[in-house]
Amino acid sequence: MSQTRSPGRRRRVVLGQTFAIVALVAPLAACTGVSKPSSEAHPGDDATTSTTGALATSAAALLPASVRKQGKLVVAIDPTYPPFESLSADQKTIVGLDADLLTEIGKELGVRMEFARAGFDSIIPGLAAGRYDLAISGMTDTAEREKQVRFVDYFDAGGALVLRKGDPTATTDLPLALCGKKVGVQTGTITVGLSKTASAQCTAAGKPAIDLQMYPSVPASVLAMSSDRVSYVWTDSVSAAEQVQKGGGRFALINDGSQPAHTGIAFPKSSTQLTEAVRAALQSMVNDGRYHDLLAKYGLLAGAIQKVEINGAADE
């Protein structure tokens, strides 16, 4: 899991030469199977400070008139990435941090969030085509993605590899230990690029390239590792920890050496007014503690932010 950082400038994500072993300090909380994400009332909510109350009011006022009239926002989400998003036991309801967070933001803005399932690699094209108003799916805010969409950043996470427990790679310098090995990654994620960079380091060192295997989700990649189709799974540290926790002692994780990066809610490039409304609503939730309560529910406080930024990757 990524380390908590104060707001401010951050170094660009880079691939490190050495990777440290990570221990799971505490298991991540399991996703609940409620039919609609909700949050409990906080003591003193009725007596919210004037600053927070003014921020909440201004957030709702920032909504485009068309959204206020419609009363809802269509949200693209790929529910295959626990603990950020997954399907409940009935396979009908989307649960997880992202669903809870946007539902609470919707309450702050006075609109309903309508979740629409989408493959991860189809989300940004769908936003550009106007099929969705926004998207949330554990998506890393990068300078490259900011050329196509806008982000409201809400979480920080680093990268990690999932591997079989006892694998000697845990004590070996990476990425060279991955050379010639099969590595599973989720289609459309930034780990595709990281693994390609690592593969180039392998060939530059006179070693065989990494055999990159693409899968539609992290759980699918881990399933492939369980059946010996890949040797490693590359993902973010939160998703990696979730898979290790669910693995019943079969797996371990190691950091990939990258700096923590922002995870963001994505919007069409032209959607400046809605972006600012959501940013203000989320900042209100950070200020009054509701945001931190939601992260605590999923054991994700280590990735908490204090200042909500738009397009935070530009500050790296």
Per-residue model confidence as pLDDT tens digits over 85-101: 999 999 999 999 999 99
Q: Report whether 268 contacts 150 (CB < 8 A).
A: yes
> Could you tell me what percent of the chain has a pLDDT over 70?
81
- The answer to whether domain 21-25+159-255 and domain 48-157+261-311 are alike in fold is yes
> Could you tell me what percent of the chain has a pLDDT over 90?
69
pLDDT, average across residues 280-302: 95
Residue 86 has a CB neighbour count (10 Å cut-off) of: 21
d(CA 3, CA 219): 24
Highest CATH level, class, for 48-157+261-311: alpha beta
pLDDT, average across residues 136-165: 95
State the fold for domain 21-25+159-255. Answer: D-Maltodextrin-Binding Protein; domain 2 (3.40.190)
Q: How confident is the model at residue 55 (pLDDT cuts 50, 70, 90)?
A: low
Domain spans of the chain? 21-25+159-255, 48-157+261-311
Q: Name the nearest CA neighbour of 256 among 182, 165, 162, 188.
A: 162
φ and ψ at 283, to 5 degrees? -65, -35
